Amino acid sequence: MDAATRRIHHSIRMVESRLVTPAASHQRAPWRRRICAESSREVRWPVSLTFHNSLTTPVAPPRRAHISCCQVSWSSTGSALMIRRSSLGQGVIPVALLVLPALVGGLIYHARRVESSHRATAERALRDYAAFAAWQFSRDAGEFLAQTARVSLHAVDHLFGERGATAGPLPPPDVIVRFGDSTACGIGRVARFAFRMDLGGALVLAGTAPDQATRGVLVSRLAALAAAPGDQPVRMLIDTLGGVHRAIAYGVVRGIDSRPRAVYGVEGEPSTLVEHLRRLAREKPLLPPSLVGRRPLDSVLALEVRRADGGLLFALGSAEDYRLRASDTTPVQGGRLVTTVALRPAAASLLLIGGVPSSRLPMLLLLFGASVAVAAMALVQLRRGRELARLRTQFVASVSHELRTPLAQISMFSETLLLHRERSGDERQHFLSVIFREARRLANLVESVLRFSRAEAGGRPLRPEPRDVADDVRDAVRAFSPLAAAARVELRAELAEGCIALIERDALRQVLINLLDNAVKFGPEGQHVTVAVGRTGGDVVVSVTDQGPGIPPSQRHKVFEPFAQGAPSQHHTAAGAGIGLTVVAELVAAHAGRVWIESGPGGRGTRVSVAVAAATRAEPARHLPPDHEQESVAAQAW
């Protein structure tokens, strides 16, 4: 055999030796080793293997096999080495990602509880300040009203208390006040009437007497007040009687037996007392001056004073939030007025260092949402990574299968020629044509793989130039004809002349080869594959139409994705490498063109069309973005 044939045979064996699966050189008992996934170091040991290619020619194995974090076992026959990933290592990451939101949620819950505790402590301290302010005002107001009541009844002051107990006759009520006297003390200046009510007897009035209904209410109310316990016999009542707001200063006269005998009193307009209480609230410091300074009262708190029946007497300011409030009641001699003090939020920063802790719930919820989103994205990326790894593994297996088939035929026929076993010159010519055809098929596949890898890594820019598309398509069809003939497929060309486009010759050739390879691979034997070139508007359109089973419309956009494979047809079971149409889409996009899939004539088969912008011969060449390499391995090799 000549030297050229020997070189071909030697080169094919070198390539094939790297694509075969390992087998054991001798039988051994089944064994299994498991490398600990918990160990951070990589465990390595030598594995003696002998590799066999498809022609049972031994090839020297590598010196050492490095395997970590997996299960290694021999098959039951002892002829194959099986390596499987440890399930523990693959399950740790998803579990960790799921634990992350739970951990963040636990930290957020703990932070929320600490924040709530701090906030409750601060609010409790502020309510203590409010209670102190309410107590302070109630004490001052009670003292003022009690003093006003005693001054108003000073004319009969000797009758009150234990020292005034008597069984003799009591003076009339007109001795209490001189009506219209502007120098009168207490509420005597605004007095409307004075009274003496003998318990168990009549009501004696002086001044402008109220109506009968008001008298009845006054008698019942005074009887109840006289019986109320208290160590102060002189008291003040601010209430509504007979539909009129009234201020009544009254005192209880006791008999020798210390039991209530009569009630003296004077009734007047309460507005003067209310105004004095307002002035008292503004002038008296209700909160520590060292903390609030000279700020106006209504800027730090809101104050309400209500009568014993719940009616509002007066109010200073208003508070938006009444959670920081407290109430206090004046003693009976002060009229049992209810004082409510509510601190404003601005006072919190004055009374407490740092004020009331603001709610961090929105930030905590945002943090929890971010952790959930990050975990979800990580899980999605992990799933996509595993899917990509699976697709790459499938891609390697498919490419290995695609390479082994022509390599086996090339090796077999070249070995036959090397051993001079051909029976005739025609058979020798046939063997050589098969070797050439399969070598071209290998070159096309390698070119697709290189185009795809360079597209992912970013290669040198394309160098398009104005070319006659029909001529380049005609050359590509002629180069693919042997492969089509071997598959019993007839190629038909419908080429319109004068279709000039700015393209790169090798890129267009690769697009045509990939489209024709798909049409032949997934179509039936004996079909007609039509390659057409035409001009539509301002574009040059190249289409390849087969008579195969077609692609469902819902799947047409997916076949351009990397490693996506169409279902094998009933005539061809080889699924391919899954990168042919991806390379087509990348090359067309690099030419600023379009590629689409539609059904063939009559809804039968598939038509893949590529459109690029038309050009003229005079149009200069230009550089496109660095999407693909421009050199053709097939052109270099053959």
Q: How crowded is residue 224: how many other Cβ atoms within 10 Å of its Cβ?
A: 9
Q: What is the pLDDT of residues 189-204, one digit of tens each?
A: 788 899 999 887 788 9
pLDDT range class, residue 134, cuts 50, 70, 90: very high
What is the tens place of the pLDDT at every residue in 31-83? 333 333 333 333 333 333 333 333 333 334 443 434 444 444 444 444 444 44
Q: Are the C-beta atoms of 14 and 60 separated by less than 8 Å?
A: no
- CATH architecture of the domain formed by 461-566+575-613: 2-Layer Sandwich (3.30)
What is the tens place of the pLDDT at every residue in 237-293? 998 888 888 999 999 988 887 788 899 999 988 888 999 999 999 888 888 888 888
Token pair listed for 338 = 């209810």
Flag whether pLDDT at 184 surpasses 80: no
Q: Do domains 146-275 and 461-566+575-613 have the same CATH topology?
A: no
Neighbours of 62 (CB within 10 A): 11
- The mean pLDDT value of the chain amounts to 76
What is the distance between the alpha carbons of residues 558 and 490, in angstroms, rounded to a whole number?
28
CA dist., res. 579 & res. 600, Å (int):
23
Enter the CATH code of domain 146-275.
3.30.450
Least confident of 265-274, 426-435, 612-621: 612-621
pTM of the predicted model as reported, rounded to 2 decimal places: 0.50
Q: For residues 517 and 580, is the Cβ–Cβ distance under 8 A?
A: yes
Domain boundaries, the chain: 146-275, 386-435, 461-566+575-613
Q: Report the DSSP pairing between strands 528-536 and 490-495.
A: parallel
- Average of per-residue pLDDT across 223-239: 85
Is pLDDT at 601 greater than 80 in this prediction? yes
- Would you state the pLDDT for residue 633? 29
Contact 532, 494 (CB under 8 A): yes
pLDDT in tens, 456-489: 555 556 778 888 898 989 988 888 888 888 888 9
Summarize pLDDT for 500-520 with one digit per residue, the tens. Answer: 998 888 888 888 888 888 888
Give yes or no for residue 139 having a pLDDT over 90.
Answer: yes
Tell me if 230 sits within 8 A of 210, measured CB to CB: no
Distance, in Å, from the CA atom of 411 to the CA atom of 435, rounded to the nearest integer, reads: 8
Average pLDDT on 132-158 reads 91
List, edge to edge, every strand of the sheet that includes 70-74.
32-34, 70-74, 81-85
Give the per-residue pLDDT at 351.
86
Q: Which two tokens stand for residue 584?
A: 């087509």
Rounded to an integer, the average pLDDT of 209-226 is: 88
Q: What's the pLDDT band for 628 if we cut at 50, 70, 90? A: very low
Dump the DSSP string for 577-637.
-S-HHHHHHHHHHHTT-EEEEEE-GGG-SEEEEEEEEB--TTSPP-PPPS-S----HHHHH
Confidence category of residue 359, pLDDT binned at 50, 70, 90: confident
Q: Which residues contact 284 (CB under 8 A, 6 or more apart)?
A: 136, 137, 140
Buried b (16+ CB within 10 A) or exposed e, 67-98: bebebbebeeeeeebeeeebeeeeeeeeeebe
- 622 has pLDDT over 50: no
pLDDT at 4: 53
Q: Give the pLDDT of residue 254.
A: 85
| % of the chain residues with pLDDT over 90 | 14
pLDDT of 531 strictly over 90: yes
The C-alpha atoms of residue 564 and residue 395 are separated, in whole angstroms, by: 9
> CB neighbours of 626 closer than 8 A, spacing ≥ 6?
458, 459, 460, 461
CA 142 – CA 337 distance, rounded (Å): 8
The reported pLDDT for the residue numbered 543 is 92
